[in-house]
Structure 1
Amino acid sequence: MPQEPEALASNEARGPATYDLVIRRAHIFDGYQALAGLYDVAINGGEIASVSVEPLRGIQEVDAAEGWVMPGLIDTHIHFYDVRAVSGPNSMRAFEENELSGKLGLFLDHGITTIKSVGDPTDGILDTRAKIGAGTLRGPRLLATGCGITGRDGHPAATVFSGNPWARERFTGEVDSVQQIRDLVHHLADRKVDAIKLLSEGACAHGPKYLWQNPAFPDGVELERLPLDLLRAGIETGHERGLRVTVHTTQQAAAREAIEAGADGLEHGVTVEPLTDHSLIDLMLEHGVTYAPTLWIDDAHPDARGNLKKVAEVGVHIALGSDTFSGRGLFGANTLEEAELMVAAGMTPTQVLAAGTRGASRQCVRPDLGTVAPGKRADLLVLNADPTADIGNLRDLSMVILNGRLAVDKR
């Protein structure tokens, strides 16, 4: 996207400069902790070139005025296409032509520089990713799994999309054999997805049926669980293709099955019951599993906050993921609300900031993102106040820099 030089102070008249862009006099949260003192952050191209206590020179300079610089936020769990509005080719086209661009911009406007789609129509979301990558569409860095993979008549095929067969075929991949799930994972890998998402709703050892309950479906929906042999095959195939595989779970038994089958992360984790199985928490730690709590959608469950606090306190890897979707709240703002809910659940602001930056980059297998350090991608936020003191200060946003270029200027 084009640079906006009028928003930056030029240094060209004062002699040769070392760097393309320098953010001057900033406190820093680097993805791990707040650094003591003030720093200059230099950018060349799309990378951070230097973080220095000594003054740096740039062709362009931004005075942070002793504000805060931190990595751009990463939301690891979003649903971008409008599941209510998209029900055929015409409504899909209308969404893409009339709403898609504005919704992408909302993420940047709120400081979210990377989003991970975990269950959008494969063709549409990968085309959107390609346009953002090519610079023909303005938006955050987009990672995508393509469709979510579920058992035949599983969630969300038989729940969210029960009355929308056209979207059901595109947003979800229903499988009922080991060969089918292997073939689908290979197909998605061939399409160059960034990860694989499996849905194991109700995948518990006591039986194949599960009553899925949600405020939108007060009577519940009886689902078939994703059988264990399919779960294992999907994870194994994803790993064969070099892809991280995360699994949608809500129960302790489902989470255990997913981890024992080799899952890299849990989407939602344990939400519908209290997390009382301490050996399950030990299993998360042993396997290095990432836990995305999605309180923005799951906070209605009385145990969701307490479960997050339990796993965070013992050092389970946490990644910020909101489960934001069209039709409720506002893209971008929902991610900030997720961060605030995580603090309300008992995490410190610093822990939540780490979950939304370095922890989220781990979930996404993007070590180039999520930290303020030389050699990392220059996806940065400039804030007016200290987010480590109050997570609400994420809303006091001054600038967003994406891939080394000024994307949003609210000064």
Structure 2
Amino acid sequence: MPQEPEALASTVARGPATYDLVIRRAHVFDGRQALDGLYDIAVDGSEVAAVSAEPLRGGQEVDAAGGWVMPGLIDTHVHFYDVRAVSGPDAMRDFEENELPGRLGLFLDHGITTIKSVGDPTDGILDTRAGIAAGTLRGPRLLATGCGITGRDGHPAATVFSGNPWARERFTGEVESVRQIRDLVHHLADRGVDAIKLLSEGACAHSGGPKYLWRNPAFPDGVALERLPLDLLRAGIETGHERGLRVTVHTTQQAAAREAIEAGADGLEHGVTVEPLSDHSLIDLMLEHDITYTPTLWIDDAHPDARGNLRKVAEAGVHIALGSDTFSGRGLFGANTLEEAELMVAAGMTPTQVLAAGTSGASRQCVRADLGTVAPGKRADLLVLNADPTADIGNLRDLGMVILNGRPVVDERLSPTP
């Protein structure tokens, strides 16, 4: 007769249970700081019910054995659909039936309990979000902007999707007028997106300015681009705010970052990557406007100034959110998010700062106050780790258990019964 797993043991013999689930004797990183001592964390339904220094009882109990509990990680910048494979209805259907479920599961397997898609085909990603919410798909909580909004022939329409017109029409929304961008933002809001993403391809000039070639190893000859015109940028941000949506802007240059902030953006995707952040007044502007900076080092670490720029804004006290810019074809979903955390530490942030960026800081970016914190009333998205992530960010890889909405969905602590 198989024995009951030690990591999830019934407490019937100990008397009536007070809570649905209790994680016993754990160190806690609560989303902002490490708490002193050991705690029992109680879960009722999908919420954290108590964080107690005194022992608690649960219908199920997990013995953390002095390990660590922290909020599930949130990756705020993900491209989920395969931009190369999806080139028509049949390819889309094949991806959604054969690739999508496994890729969703990879995030949970690595401790990422929420992802934010920032530029996937609107219909597909919202259907995926609905499938996860309905329980027909196993995956992390999914937030989505729908397509990314860019100027006519802007990035990524004229770059990533230049040879894939079918995907270009669905992954991107190209606009040429204030009316078009307002209409598109209203359309996305009507569809129920969680936020809006605009692309002010931040390393190029406005129409009439100096010629700019967007360069990438995949496009060695460069691609001529223009930045989203300022009146369209302002209109997109204003319309998003009218609909109660947070609006973040893809930038890479100081000039573009300043323009986005002054136009009313809530956050910078990538921030400043292609040049050193030498203008301290721009950092002051980020602080004044309460901007969230998402560094995406997983993709931008090739730029020699990206790490130093992150270090400058972090030291100044700018809000930081973890976002990897993960996409199909490189690395592994989930693992890329952990690599992003490690790169942020390598850039000069402390492990505690990075953990906050991937939990409470990311929840702020997503306007989800119910996420990213271990506290009563918050969503019970929790990780049980075997070692201290505040001492070594690499300990995020020493994962014992993942709890999503109060339910264990990954348990690496259990050994198969012979």
The TM-score normalised by the length of structure 1 is: 0.98
Per-residue displacement from partner, 1:256-312 (whole Å, max 9, x unpaired)?
A: 000000000000000000000100000000000000000000000000000000000
Deviation at 1:208, TM superposition (A): 7.2
Instruction: Give the match for residue 51 of structure 1.
Output: 51
Q: Distance in 1 between matches of 2:300 and 2:408?
A: 34
Q: Secondary structure at the match of 1:250?
A: coil
Q: Is the 8 A contact 1:208 1:225 kept in 2?
A: no
Deviation at 1:214, TM superposition (A): 1.1
Q: Is the 8 A contact 2:22 2:57 kept in 1?
A: yes
Deviation at 1:244, TM superposition (A): 0.1
Deviation at 1:8, TM superposition (A): 1.1
Q: Distance in 1 between matches of 2:7 and 2:166?
A: 46
Q: Is the 8 A contact 1:248 1:267 kept in 2?
A: yes
Q: Secondary structure at the match of 1:49?
A: strand
Deviation at 1:148, TM superposition (A): 0.1
Deviation at 1:211, TM superposition (A): 1.8
Structure 2, gaps ≥5 residues long: 414-418
Cα distance change on mapping 1:309 and 1:132 into 2, 3 Å = same
Q: Is the 8 A contact 1:200 1:254 kept in 2?
A: yes
Deviation at 1:17, TM superposition (A): 1.0
Q: Secondary structure at the match of 1:342?
A: helix
Cα distance change on mapping 1:3 and 1:116 into 2, 3 Å = farther
Cα distance change on mapping 1:68 and 1:6 into 2, 3 Å = closer
Per-residue displacement from partner, 1:227-267 (whole Å, max 9, x unpaired)?
A: 00000000000000000000000000000000000000000
Q: Distance in 2 between matches of 1:290 and 1:4?
A: 46
Q: Is the 8 A contact 2:203 2:274 kept in 1?
A: no
Q: Secondary structure at the match of 1:142?
A: strand
Larger mean CA deviation between 300-309 and 206-215 belongs to 206-215
Q: Secondary structure at the match of 1:275?
A: coil
Deviation at 1:369, TM superposition (A): 0.3
Q: Distance in 1 between matches of 2:4 and 2:236?
A: 45
Cα distance change on mapping 1:261 and 1:139 into 2, 3 Å = same
Q: Distance in 2 between matches of 1:205 and 1:96?
A: 37
Deviation at 1:169, TM superposition (A): 0.1
Deviation at 1:75, TM superposition (A): 0.2
Deviation at 1:376, TM superposition (A): 0.2
Cα distance change on mapping 1:410 and 1:103 into 2, 3 Å = same
Deviation at 1:219, TM superposition (A): 1.4
Instruction: Give the match for residue 103 of structure 1.
Output: 103
Deviation at 1:122, TM superposition (A): 0.2
Q: Is the 8 A contact 1:4 1:406 kept in 2?
A: no
Deviation at 1:210, TM superposition (A): 3.0
Q: Distance in 2 between matches of 1:71 and 1:21?
A: 16
Q: Secondary structure at the match of 1:99?
A: helix
Per-residue displacement from partner, 1:343-373 (whole Å, max 9, x unpaired)?
A: 0000000000000000000000000000100
Q: Is the 8 A contact 2:87 2:164 kept in 1?
A: yes
Q: Secondary structure at the match of 1:77?
A: strand
Q: Secondary structure at the match of 1:21?
A: strand
Q: Secondary structure at the match of 1:310?
A: helix
Moved over 2 A (4+): 1-7, 202-210
Q: Distance in 1 between matches of 2:92 and 2:165?
A: 14
Q: Is the 8 A contact 1:205 1:253 kept in 2?
A: no
Q: Distance in 1 between matches of 2:302 and 2:321?
A: 20
Q: Is the 8 A contact 1:121 1:147 kept in 2?
A: yes
Q: Is the 8 A contact 2:47 2:380 kept in 1?
A: yes
Q: Is the 8 A contact 1:9 1:60 kept in 2?
A: yes
Q: Percent identity?
A: 91
Deviation at 1:7, TM superposition (A): 5.5
Instruction: Give the match for residue 372 of structure 2.
Output: 370
